[in-house]
């Protein structure tokens, strides 16, 4: 007999005696669930004078609520249970007994505690751990949910309305989406809105800014790391963004900054739905929707050979273009009001407003930083001004000097494109209102815009309707 067999037999021989000594009571039944042995303390707990009085009796006649017969018949242990006996309750465990051939020949039961309340500290700790785990999972799920919907993409002009309509159509499918546009035009906001309106809205939304992750770490960031893949790697491995986004949406921001080598691996994952974590030789499958975005000219990059054509066509199934702010003059009034209110709430400031003259002053700026720059200008103006309503002078005091020269052109100097568009819109609206004798609904119909959009333009462009 080997040493391991000797130790196993020794453990088996001493297990019963140790449990019988340390626990509150022990009982053994045969294959017919009849009692064949009971230690001295068990009868005392049950109020029985002598243990010999119960030998040979069915277990249910002595302990009516016993489940020892079930253990014998099923061969499955009941590791922890509360057994009632009269007006008392005991914490018990039940184990099957097998012969050398593995056949169940009986069962043994141990009374661990004669008072279930002694488990209270253990159960309290267990419940606390479960609660902490549930809270951690809730926070993680919350962090991977979208913060924005289509309602957060503020704008009622023709360009904004057309974009949101196209994005809503995209949300009804699971096809890849490529969002093109200058920085600060709301590409990630739009991606989150598409996810939130789609069939995968309850699944994770995971975003990766490719430009913000070092090239050497991008592969691990995407595909994860197998346990022990390299020195310093986490012992249990690390899930990549593809794994985290499984079942949901993976948003690849600034996709144009991805290296050619990683482009090839990304293409294979999108085509085959599988990938290999770093340091692993096993394939993992993934099911997700990809939304990519970039401020770069991908078509030119494809022509120059710096971006793979096959990956471009894989991503470019549905294309959305976020218009720059200088092309959304009709949205300025609505957008400025929204941002001012948002900034006031964020900075715990009293509610403030913005005047028509201030909006007109905003319209004369070129906005190379788009909505991000507009928010910065409004926040600075709010912090620098004590008035309840922002005026044109408040905007002029904080707007970039490079734009102020263009904002008020000298006599004979060429006008900025934004001012030309604003003047043309003013004349068109004034003419339509004059022809319709001030009927705004009819004027909006003739102009081909909604009534709400007309009101916004009237307010934003400072048009006096009384003259009409």
Residue 261 reports pLDDT greater than 90 = no
Render pLDDT for 66-112 as a digit per residue (tens, 0 to 9): 899 999 999 999 988 888 888 788 888 899 998 888 899 999 998 88
Whether the per-residue pLDDT at 403 is higher than 50: the answer is no
Q: What is the pLDDT of residues 199-257, one digit of tens each?
A: 998 899 999 999 888 877 888 888 888 876 665 555 667 888 999 999 999 999 999 99
Q: Tell me the two tokens of residue 107.
A: 């069962």
pTM summary value: 0.59
Residues 6+ apart with CB under 8 A from 258: 210, 218, 252, 266
Helices (H), 23-58: 41-46
Most confident of 124-128, 187-191, 366-370, 462-466: 187-191
CA separation for the pair 382, 374 (Å, rounded) = 12
- At 232 the pLDDT is 56
The answer to whether 285 and 223 have CB atoms below 8 angstroms apart is no
CA atoms within 13 A on the CB side of 164: 15
Give the rounded distance of the alpha carbon of 335 from its chain centre: 27
Of 343, 374, 449, nearest to 182 (Cα)? Answer: 374
Query: What does the radius of gyration of the chain's CA atoms come to, in whole angstroms?
Result: 37
Higher pLDDT, 198 or 124: 198
User: What residues contact 443, with CB distance under 8 A and at least 6 apart?
Assistant: 429, 432, 433, 435, 436, 454
pLDDT at 402: 45
Q: Which domains does the chain have, with CATH numbers?
A: 15-119 (3.30.450.20), 150-323 (3.40.50.300), 327-467 (1.10.8.60)
Q: Which of 52-56, 69-73, 158-162, 269-273 has the lowest mean pLDDT?
A: 52-56
Candidate ranges 6-20, 57-71, 134-148; pick with highest mean pLDDT: 57-71
CA distances from 332 to 251, 272, 299, 327, 340 (A): 28, 45, 31, 10, 12
Sort residue 437 into left (φ over 0), alpha (ψ -120 to 50) or beta: left
- Sign of the Cα pseudo-torsion (208, 223, 319, 167, in order): negative
């Amino acid at each position: 007999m080997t040493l391991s067999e000797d130790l196993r037999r020794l453990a088996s021989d001493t297990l019963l005696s140790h449990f019988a000594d340390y626990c509150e009571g022990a009982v053994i039944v045969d294959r017919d669930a009849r009692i064949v042995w009971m230690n001295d303390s068990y009868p005392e707990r049950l109020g029985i004078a002598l243990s010999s009085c119960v030998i040979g009796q069915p277990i249910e006649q002595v302990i009516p609520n016993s489940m020892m017969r079930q253990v014998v018949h099923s061969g499955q242990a009941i590791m922890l249970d509360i057994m009632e006996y009269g007006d008392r309750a005991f914490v018990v465990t039940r184990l099957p007994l097998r012969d050398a051939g593995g056949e169940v020949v009986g069962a043994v039961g141990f009374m661990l505690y004669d008072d279930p309340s002694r488990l209270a500290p253990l159960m309290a700790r267990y419940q606390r751990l479960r609660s902490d785990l549930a809270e951690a999972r809730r926070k993680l799920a919350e962090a991977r949910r979208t913060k924005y919907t289509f309602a957060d993409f503020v704008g009622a002009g023709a360009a904004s309305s057309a974009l949101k309509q196209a994005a809503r159509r995209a949300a009804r499918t699971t096809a890849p989406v490529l969002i093109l546009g200058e920085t600060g035009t709301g590409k990630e906001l739009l991606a989150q809105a598409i996810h939130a309106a789609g069939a995968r809205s309850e699944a994770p939304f995971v975003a990766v800014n490719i430009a913000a992750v070092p090239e050497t770490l991008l592969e691990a960031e995407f595909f994860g790391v197998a346990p022990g893949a390299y020195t310093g790697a986490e012992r249990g491995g690390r899930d990549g963004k593809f794994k985290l986004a499984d079942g949901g949406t993976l948003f690849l921001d600034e996709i144009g900054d991805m290296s050619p080598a990683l482009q090839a691996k990304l293409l294979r994952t999108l085509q085959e739905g599988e990938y290999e974590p770093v340091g692993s030789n096993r394939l993992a499958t993934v099911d997700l929707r990809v939304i990519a975005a970039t401020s770069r000219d991908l078509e030119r990059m494809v022509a120059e050979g710096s971006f793979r054509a096959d990956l471009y066509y894989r991503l470019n199934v549905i294309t959305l273009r976020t218009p720059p702010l200088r092309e959304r003059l009709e949205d300025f009034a609505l957008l400025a009001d929204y941002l001012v209110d948002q900034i006031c709430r964020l900075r715990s400031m009293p509610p403030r407003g913005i005047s028509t003259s201030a909006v007109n002053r905003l319209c004369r700026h070129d906005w190379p930083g788009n909505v991000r720059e507009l928010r910065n200008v409004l926040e600075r103006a709010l912090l620098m001004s004590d008035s309840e309503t922002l005026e044109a002078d408040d905007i002029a005091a904080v707007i970039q000097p490079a734009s102020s020269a263009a904002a008020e052109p000298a006599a004979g100097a060429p006008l900025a494109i934004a001012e030309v568009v604003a003047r043309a819109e003013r004349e068109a609206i004034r003419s339509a209102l004059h022809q319709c004798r001030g009927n705004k609904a009819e004027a909006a119909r003739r102009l081909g815009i909604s009534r709400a959009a007309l009101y916004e333009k009237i307010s934003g462009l400072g048009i006096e309707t009384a003259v009409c």
